[in-house]
Amino acid sequence: MRISELINLKRVQIDATGRVFIRGKGKKQRFIYLTERAKKHIENYLSARDDDSTYLFVPEKGQNAMKKDKKISANYLQMKIKKYRELLGMNVPTSAHSLRHGFATYLAEQGANPAAIQILLGHESLDTTTKYVHASDKYAEDTHKKFHPLSE
C-alpha cells in the first residue's frame, strides 16, 4: 500500500473478510488483503477509539487531532515508524516506502508470482515491480544451488 493510500484509507474501504478496496494512482482500483492478525489489531484499535472519523487511522494528538474528520499525515506516519523502529532496537533506516519494498522482496523470495506482486503493489508495469524487489545474497545463492545443473 502506498503512503497516500494508507493515510487516506477510510473505514468503509475494509469489508468483513479483510479485503481492502484501494483506489490508487491514476484512479486505478485494486484490492489488498489483511491477515487475520491485522484484522484483529484493526478491530481492537477501532474499538478503543472514541471518535466518529471516517478515516481508519487518526492522530492521537497534535494539530489534526482536533479536526472533526481527522486523518494522519505522512510526517505523522513516518514519526510512528521511527518510534517503533527505535523501540524494537532496529538500527536500519526504515520508512513507509522501504516497508513497501520489503513487502515486495519478501513475497518474491517466498516464490510469489511476479504478476501477483505487481497487482498487490498496484503497478501498471512489471518493470516497476522488479525495481521494488531487492533479492538478498542468500536468496541468490539458494536460487543458484536450486536451479544450476552442476550445483550438486
Active site residues: 2, 25, 97, 100, 123, 132
User: Helices (DSSP H) in the chain: which residue ranges?
Assistant: 3-7, 36-48, 74-87, 96-109, 114-121, 126-132, 137-147
Residue 120 amino acid letter: L
Residue 33: strand, helix, or coil: strand
**Is the separation of the CB atoms in 33 and 18 below 8 Å?**
yes
Q: Which of 116, 101, 127 shows the shortest CA–CA distance to 32? A: 116
Integer Cα distance of 126 and 132 in angstroms: 10
C-alpha grid cell, residue 107:
513475497
